[in-house]
Amino acid sequence: MLTEASSYDDLYRDFRWDIPARFNIATACCDRHADGTDRLAMIYVDEDGGAKRHSFDAVSDASRRFANVLKADGLERGDRVAVFLSQSLELPIAHMAAFRSGMVSIPLFALFGEDALEFRLSNSGARAIVTDEAGWGKLAKIRDRLPDLENIYVIGDGAPAGTKPFWPQIKAASAEFATVDTSADDAALIIYTSGTTGNPKGALHAHRVVLGHLPNVEMCHDFLPKPGDLMWTPADWAWIGGLINALFAAWYHAVPIVGHRARKFEPQAAMQMMADYGIRNVFLPPTALKLMRQADVRHAGVRLRSIFTGGESLGGELLGWVRATFGIDAHEVFGQTECNLVIGSNARLFPIRPGSMGKATPGFDVRIVNEKAEELPRGQRGIIAVRQPNPCTMIEYWRNPDATAKKYVGDYLLTGDLGVQDEDGYFWYVSREDDVITTAGYRVGPSEIEHTLLKHPAVALSAVVGIPDPIRTESIKAWIVLRPGFAPSDALAREIQDFVKVQLAAHEYPRFVQFTDTLPMTGTGKVLRRELRTLG
């Protein structure tokens, strides 16, 4: 997308979008590189440290076969296919099969619990899902409440009753499949994003979304691709940051990626893996960098070319540690699931200013506006807004026209985040306009957690807020009013925490529980979360 330039002004001024009318992610990110030469696509490192190399040829072949499996099982263009896996070879195979079939894939976080899964699968009307044995253990408990979910493909030895074996069906299918001729604007995937009110919303993205990510990825990875580039991120490939920023953007450029399913982020193990495999380009969320700094990890064999980070500001101290440890600058980015990577950094194009997110990505017109989408003067706080149209923006919120309409005012998409743009064009993040919690790089909506808390027999009322955390940016705290017959105790707090961890996900459970007799509310019964945040 970008032509390398020596100055940001030249890069931004000379950029023009070139979006073809017909475009398919599977063709662009896989088939173009499957030329019969076994070009490397992925190095998968298992939990025991064993590594397997997989080519674009193999991914293309398997995804064509799986597309035939989906077709034989009655799925049609436009149907939704969920991918309930962590980093693995099977994950991109499933996505590419859906894309080449004209279907819509739904990435799902492998640690989601039953409540989170049920809503997303029900709301999307998914007709098929690819998962592993652990995922099936969760699905089995809710399957009778998902009438649309007719096909469950399970990876592993054998297939439990009521499911279908993933690999045996692929091996038995034909590799001949004509990829559907899709428009760049045709629907490709639904990525669910949490808000502060109501249930999570599904951002429906078109095939063009991959192209929309490229200017920022190329700029912030110091003009990716370069010879020898190899990508890795600990971010889960169910999130837009792991799936598109890292996996799909790298594969568009035929840059191989390292996949690794770690139980948790281990700083020393991460350094060792980067050294062992010669990883050159990383997307490391700020929490990962903070944990590495806290552990004071070093490894002379690490030779990174680019560090891409986002989700929260690094600040001067952490930026300095990154520079001293890796010998290069961390390049911050800003975006959201609905319209991603609209701001970014590159130390060779303009000086890094600690605390700043950088400047507008080439191809994006980013402004600070008021609630009427009127531009505000430089230095004044307002809503970060992105002029439309652009190829990174979602088509709509899935089956939610009211929420879609509220996202736009005039020619702008309003991010809901508050910021300031200084006289030199740098953007500075101030706060959220809403109550979304940023924890360990994830944006977590309190409403979903509160709904789950209310399912616990001890909980009468609850409110969830983010409180400052030096590692995670924010930790999740739940304020809970108990039902009659229950008394506050440390044991009950742990029980409630475990309940949420199982029902939703490990990153969404409240690390702190505060029992209280009442919650501050408005006259209409809405919890005043801002008052709870001031209490800590």
Q: What is the pLDDT of residue 524?
A: 47
pLDDT band at 211 (very low <50, low <70, confident <90, very high): very high
Quick one: tokens of 526? 């809405």
Phi then psi dihedrals of residue 140, to 5 deg: -55, -30
Q: What is the pLDDT of residue 526?
A: 61
Element at 226 (helix H, strand E): none
pLDDT tops 70 at residue 522: no
Contact 287, 471 (CB under 8 A): yes
Contact 34, 56 (CB under 8 A): yes
Average pLDDT of the chain is 94
Q: pTM above the 0.85 mark?
A: yes
Using a 10 angstrom Cβ sphere, with 0-12 exposed, 13-18 middle and 19 or more buried, the burial of residue 289 is buried
Q: Residues with Cβ < 8 Å from 55, sequence gap 6 or more?
A: 34, 38, 39, 40, 41
Tens of pLDDT, residues 89-113: 999 999 999 999 999 999 999 989 9
Residue range 437-535 in CATH 3.30.300.30? yes
pLDDT tops 90 at residue 282: yes
Tens of pLDDT, residues 418-476: 899 999 999 998 877 777 788 888 878 787 888 889 889 999 888 899 999 999 889 99
For residues 495-515, give the mean pLDDT: 93
Question: pLDDT > 70: what percent of the chain?
Answer: 98
Q: Specify the higher pLDDT residue, 265 or 129.
A: 129
- How large is the angle between the packed helices 446-453 and 114-124, nearest 10 degrees? 120
Using a 10 angstrom Cβ sphere, with 0-12 exposed, 13-18 middle and 19 or more buried, the burial of residue 156 is middle
pLDDT tops 90 at residue 295: no
For residues 28-38, give the mean pLDDT: 98
Q: What is the DSSP string of 467-519?
A: EEETTTEEEEEEEEEEPTT----HHHHHHHHHHHHHHS-GGGS-SEEEE-S--
Contact 336, 417 (CB under 8 A): yes
For residues 50-78, give the mean pLDDT: 98
pLDDT tops 70 at residue 196: no
pLDDT tops 50 at residue 479: yes
- Residue ranges per domain, the chain? 437-535
> Using CA atoms, how far apart are residues 204 and 192, in angstroms rounded to an integer?
9
Quick one: tokens of 394? 């979602």
For residues 53-58, give the mean pLDDT: 98
Q: What is the pLDDT of residue 343?
A: 98
